[in-house]
Amino acid sequence: MRVFYSEDHKLRDARTELHGGELVAPFEAPFRAEWILAAVKEAGFSDVVAPGRHGMETALKLHAADYLEFLETAWDRWVADGYRGEAIPACFPARRMRQHPPKDIDGALGYYAFAAETAITDGTFAAARAAMDCALSAAEHVAAGNPAAFALCRPPGHHAAIDLFGGYSFINNAACAAQRLRDLGATKVAVLDVDFHHGNGTQDIFYERGDVFFASLHGDPADAFPHFLGFADEEGAGVGRGSTKNYPLPRGTTFETWSAAMDDALSRIADFGAEALVLSLGVDTFERDPISFFKLKSEDYLRMGERLKSMGLPTVVCMEGGYGVPEIGLNVANVLMGIAR
């Protein structure tokens, strides 16, 4: 299985994350990609290539044009205002306030964000673009007839909505992969999101579309980030009605419970008639993840990959979350080994 990896992920190297009322070193940091890359090479995935450079055409089918322009220019606007810290949104258009982008950068940051933990920094847009390139190149590789590819995306993307950043996500890499598969000939595509957190961004992007099925297994939003989306009664709307499926799961969920939910998701994906699969792969479901509350073990990720392979679908794997512990590398490699076998 080919691995798409760009050194440009290192351009996303924020100093701060707002966590528990403190500015801490971000959980989503460059070492994650380095650990994952080392582990997948160690597992025998030696075909590691840099992605091709893409334009923004695919992203523009998913995200609002003004949002992408904001991402590209936000850091320079922030610096021009004389600020010395990182660009952290602090004022949001909450209930009964006006929903429009202000001229002022502080206002624009709040308008285009749904969470304040994620700061925009110099290099963030360039890194997000490189992650998007990985996802697009992986989709092209699979559309060309290869059974699977791994986009080692960093920063992640599944929280990035039509016109919102947050949750360490800026451009929705998995959504870009799904759209590229559609544009290269797949009539129906499924996105399965196994990151611990609900893929609110991917759900938002495809909510009213009937050509992309979205299923997400995640910590119950009553207890977990992103708190305000990912409930079981969200099923899609318009022609997309019935093509969104959420599995909110409780604290302490083990692979036994988790894999039963995945089986249900996969049978719905088969019924939907998906011709290709995009896996939003977060390994923050691991028992020792520092910010999550599932209890998956390293060997469970091999079973997960084997079950995915049994679908027999061309598969693009996009990296999402998974933090703090060296096992994130092994856990990703295990999923890939299950899929490749």
Contacting residues toward ligand SP5, per CB under 6 A: 117, 156, 159, 167-169, 195, 197, 225, 282, 284, 291, 320-321
- Non-local (6+) Cβ contacts of 325 within 8 A are 286, 288, 289, 290
Of ligand SP5, Zn ion, none, which one does residue 291 interact with (CB within 5 to 8 Å by kind)? Answer: ligand SP5
In whole angstroms, what is the distance from residue 274 CA to residue 282 CA? 21
Q: Is 289 in the site for Zn ion (CB under 5 A)?
A: no
Query: For residue 94, with 0-12 CB atoms within 10 Å meaning exposed, 13-18 middle and 19 or more buried, which class applies?
Result: exposed
111 vs 255 by CB, closer to Zn ion: 255
- Smallest gap from Cβ 135 to Zn ion, in A, equals 17
Query: Which residue among the candidates 159, 197, 198, 218 is catalytic per the annotation?
Result: 159
Q: Which residue of 199, 282, 329, 338 would you call a contact of Zn ion, by CB under 5 A? A: 282
List the one residue out of 262, 276, 275, 277 whose CA is nearest residue 307: 262
SS3 220: coil
Shortest CB 96 distance to ligand SP5, Å:
26
- Does position 197 interact with Zn ion (CB under 5 A)? The reply is yes
What span, in angstroms and rounded, lies between the C-alpha atoms of 336 and 322? 15
The distance of closest approach from Cβ of residue 117 to ligand SP5 in the complex, given in angstroms and rounded to an integer, is 5
8 binds, among ligand SP5, Zn ion, none (CB under 5 to 8 A by kind): none
Angle formed by the axes of helices 298-309 and 327-340, to 10°? 20
Judged by beta carbon distances under 5 to 8 A according to partner kind, the member of Zn ion, ligand SP5, none in contact with residue 129 is none
Catalytic site residue 141? Answer: no
Task: Report the residue closest to ligand SP5, judged by CB.
Answer: 321
| Residues ≥6 apart with Cβ < 8 Å to 27 | 17, 19, 168, 290, 291, 323, 324
Count helices and strands (H / E) in the chain: 10, 10
Nearer Cβ to ligand SP5 (284/327): 284
The angle subtended at Cα 6 by Cα 5 and Cα 11, nearest 5°, is 140
The least CB distance from residue 270 to ligand SP5, in Å, is 27
Q: Which stretch binds Zn ion (CB under 5 A): 47-55, 62-70, 196-204, 261-269?
A: 196-204
Q: Which does 168 bind (CB under 5 to 8 A by kind): Zn ion, ligand SP5, none?
A: ligand SP5
List, in order, residues 6 or more apart from 187 with CB less than 8 Å away.
211, 275
Comparison of 156 and 338: residue with beta carbon closer to Zn ion? 156
For position 51 contacting Zn ion by CB under 5 A, the verdict is no
Examine residue 198 and tell whether it contacts Zn ion (CB under 5 A): no
158 binds Zn ion (CB under 5 A): no
* Rg (the chain; Cα; Å): 18
Give the separation between CA 62 and CA 206, rounded to whole angstroms.
8
Which option in ligand SP5, Zn ion, none does residue 117 bind, with CB closer than 5 to 8 A by kind?
Answer: ligand SP5
| Size, binding site for Zn ion by CB under 5 A | 6
Q: What is the β-pairing status of strands 22-24 and 244-249?
A: unpaired
Q: Which residues contact 45 (CB under 8 A, 6 or more apart)?
A: 1, 3, 150, 333, 336, 340
Beta carbon of residue 321, minimum distance to ligand SP5 (angstroms, whole number): 2
Shortest gap between Cβ of 320 and ligand SP5 (angstroms)? 5
Nearest Cα neighbor of 265 from 286, 282, 251, 244 is 244
Q: Are 287 and 297 in contact (CB under 8 A)?
A: yes
Partner from ligand SP5, Zn ion, none contacting 340, C-beta within 5 to 8 A by type: none
Residues in contact with Zn ion by CB under 5 A are 195-197, 282, 284, 321
Instruction: List, by residue number, the catalytic residues.
Output: 159
